[in-house]
Amino acid sequence: MGRRKVRLELITNDSVRKTTFRKRKGGLLKKASELKTLCGVDTCAIIYTANDVEPHVWPSPEDAQRVLERFQSLPSKKQGKHMLNHEDYRPKDVSMLELKLENGIKRNQDLEMELLLLDHLSGKNVVDLIKDDEMKMLYQSVDDKIRDLTLQMANLKASEVEEDAYSTAPAN
């Protein structure tokens, strides 16, 4: 769409390529925005530039907000066939602690399942930039999750040690 038809192939000239990228990125975002508005679908554009390490995400602030909410309420459904059969990897006879450990495993599986989604998206070059504030919120959210998980594992370990104490030398 310009003075002349361009061949669909990598633009070798650096500056030209950058300029084209900038222009087209804008166009793509606009299109995505329109699609979202006109059709009521929650579009999202992303771009991992070879330069930046951080992925650039788009929507608007409200969108990012909603993303977080949706993410946090993300239930452990869909796990179906992806639920791992623990039996295969569990040393026999460790009954007492199984439940707790399983909880931990289950949690990890939840994470993995969400990771699956990430799979579909990571490694892609996306189209935009998330505001700093939103970024912080996202990070905060993950930090919280990490905290929970770590605490849980620590407790698990602690209780195991405890249990052990019981079976060999009752707590003072």
**Partner that binds at residue 131, options DNA, a second copy, none, CB closer than 5 to 8 Å by kind:** none
- Distance in angstroms (rounded) separating the CA atoms of residues 33 and 39: 10
| Cβ proximity to DNA, 21 vs 71, nearer residue | 21
Q: Which amino acid is at 161?
A: V
Residue 57 makes contact with a second copy by CB under 8 A: yes
Tokens of 3: 């003075």
> How many other C-beta atoms lie within 10 A of the C-beta of residue 134?
20
Buried (b) or exposed (e) across 21-53, using 16+ Cβ within 10 A? eeeebeeebeebeeebeeeeeebbbbbbeeeee
**Containing H/E element for 57?**
strand 56-57
Choosing from 41, 60, 131, 136, the residue that interacts with a second copy (CB under 8 A) is 41
Residue number, 19 or 140, with CB nearest to DNA: 19
Cβ proximity to DNA: between 19 and 125 the closer is 19
- Contact status, residue 63 vs residue 44, Cβ threshold 8 Å: yes
Using CB under 7 A as the binding criterion, the count of chain residues that bind DNA stands at 20
Q: Using CA atoms, how far apart are residues 147 and 83, in angstroms rounded to an integer?
A: 24
Binding positions for DNA, 9-28, rule CB under 7 A:
14-16, 18-20, 22-24, 26-28
129 binding a second copy? (CB under 8 A): no
Which CB, 35 or 133, lies closer to a second copy? 35
Q: How many residues bind a second copy (CB under 8 A)?
A: 98
User: Judged by CB, which is closer to a second copy: 76, or 118?
Assistant: 118
Q: Is residue 45 within 8 Å of residue 58, measured between CB atoms?
A: yes
Could you say whether residue 41 binds DNA (CB under 7 A)? Answer: no
Instruction: Indicate which of a second copy, DNA, none lies near residue 150 (CB less than 5 to 8 Å, by partner kind).
Output: a second copy
Residues near DNA (CB under 7 A): 1-6, 14-16, 18-20, 22-24, 26-28, 30-31
